Chains A and B, each alone.
Chain A
Amino acid sequence: QSVLTQPPSASGTPGQTVTISCSGSSSNIGSNSVYWYQQLPGTAPKLLMYSNDQRPSGVPDRFSGSKSGTSASLAISGLRSEDEADYYCATWDDTLSGQDVVFGGGTKLTVL
């Protein structure tokens, strides 16, 4: 099972706002920034959000991120058909020997 918990699926109609959650613990989200990746069908993941709420160049402002305590969220407003993809959260997990990278289980977004 994943260290970070995401809902397996989410859906919305064009124009709607959809929110995807990512739940962790004090050793990961609670003490580190959260990152989000978008994986379109059959392609490699793409960095969508970094440092909780920062968008890389080229990512539309329809995408926004937030973090509170040991949870984080990715919101997609003005939903479009091309947003249909898998979304993964990621962060560091602090261990006794250092920091490991952990991913959520992924959320499959369907645009109805």
Chain B
Amino acid sequence: QVQLVQSGAEVKTPGASVKLSCKASGYIFSFHTMQWVRQAPGQRLEWMGWINGDSNRRYSQKFQGRITITRDTSANTAYMELSSLRSEDTAVYYCARDLGIVGPAFDPWGQGTLVTVSS
């Protein structure tokens, strides 16, 4: 079945960077855009950006300059790196496969990776 498995929880100090991974299985990885969404504790979902099969990317303006999304097709894995971390970046980070319908149809989602930023 289609599955996204994300890397484990991270604890970072302010100013550091974090790189998360999202390994896909059960479908042709290069056929689908991968989305990244985060959710701070008790907060709403927040879109961060995407990367498509041609490695074109789009980032939310909120994260421009701090975010880099990449993919390794040979490993069926997408990555999201966020730099200059601050406490407000403490959140669960999700990857999600974009179904390619006209609109944000994301299915499935990874299990999420908790990133804690604390001194």
Contacts and interface: CB of A to CB of B under 8 A. Distances in A.
Contact of B105 (A44, A50, A100): A50
Given A44-B109, A100-B60, A101-B35, A106 B103 contact: no
Interface of A: 2, 32-35, 37, 39, 44-47, 50-51, 56, 88, 90-92, 98, 100-106
Contacts, number: 70
A69 to B, nearest CB: 17
16 contacts: A33-B102, A34-B103, A35-B104, A39-B45, A44-B94, A45-B37, A45-B106, A47-B107, A50-B103, A88-B45, A90-B104, A91-B103, A92-B104, A101-B35, A102-B47, A104-B44
- Give me the 3 closest cross-chain CB pairs, A-B, nearest first: A101-B47, A44-B109, A47-B107
Prevailing SS type, chain A contact patch: strand
Interface of B: 35, 37, 44-47, 50, 58, 60-61, 94, 96, 99, 101-112
A103 B105 contact: no
Given A44-B111, A45-B109, A35 B103 contact: yes
A103 B110 contact: no
A46 B111 CA distance: 11
Given A35-B103, A44-B110, A106 B44 contact: yes
Contacts of B104: 35, 90-92, 101
